[in-house]
Amino acid sequence: MYILFKKEILSFFSSLIGYIAVVIFLTINGLFLWVFPLGFNIIDYGYASLENFFMLAPYVFLFLIPAITMRTFADENRAGTIELLLTKPLTDMQIIFAKYLAGVSVVVLSLLPTLIYAISVYLLGAPKGNLDVGGLWGSYIGLLFLASGFVAIGVFVSSITDNQIVAFMLALVISGFAYIGFDFIASLSLFGSIDLLLLSLGIQSHYTSISRGVIDTRDVLYFLSVIALFLLFTKTALESRKWENSIRLSISKNKEQ
């Protein structure tokens, strides 16, 4: 499993796509937070806070993470190497976890340089160090949970197609709906008393809750459930592919006889 995990990390950074995705993430956040005179600009905001970064980052992740995960299984499906991979002495879940953890690791690597933002805000505070450190770390934990959920969605989508562009678009749509779709539906006030239930089904409400700096068990269980659900979907997709391959093999053998 570790060898497959290492292979996935190396394959991501063996092409320009990996570096471009991370650079774009950092560039977009940097421009909106420090350069563009828009609502996200920290200097114009006037407070020693990274609140604007944690509001912006999920929307950037909606594009970054599908770009990271789109080739996870889709490339294997297109090249026909998925059958070879499934014959290795690894269980389906070990294969899935290796690819999933590789995706999460890449996201973590892209987040590490953003600690410079925290240091900058810490130094810019009046007085210096006037920063809610507890809320800051809570927000980073929430962002990691959110990113991990997006990666699980992206890995699942990649497992059901052999086209990377299709995998990217589907992961973007599903992740976007999971993040803001339920909030939008609840805002229409069409379902009366179950609006709060709809809100609780969306990722945004749980991400916002953790970002306040309070790690609620319900929010943690929600994210773990989302991750487990989509990894289980991925396992089902792989089992379906193995079943289809076995049927094709049986048909080909019958024709030869």
Cβ 17 vs Cβ 67: under 8 Å = yes
pLDDT on residue 256: 56
Q: pLDDT averaged over the chain?
A: 83
- What whole-number distance in Å separates Cα of residue 78 and Cα of residue 161? 8
Choice among 29-33, 71-75, 148-152 with the minimum mean pLDDT: 71-75
Whole-model pTM?
0.88
Q: Read off the pLDDT of each residue in 243-251 and give the average, rounded to a whole number.
A: 61
Q: Quick one: which of 215, 179, 167, 154 has its CA closest to 58?
A: 179
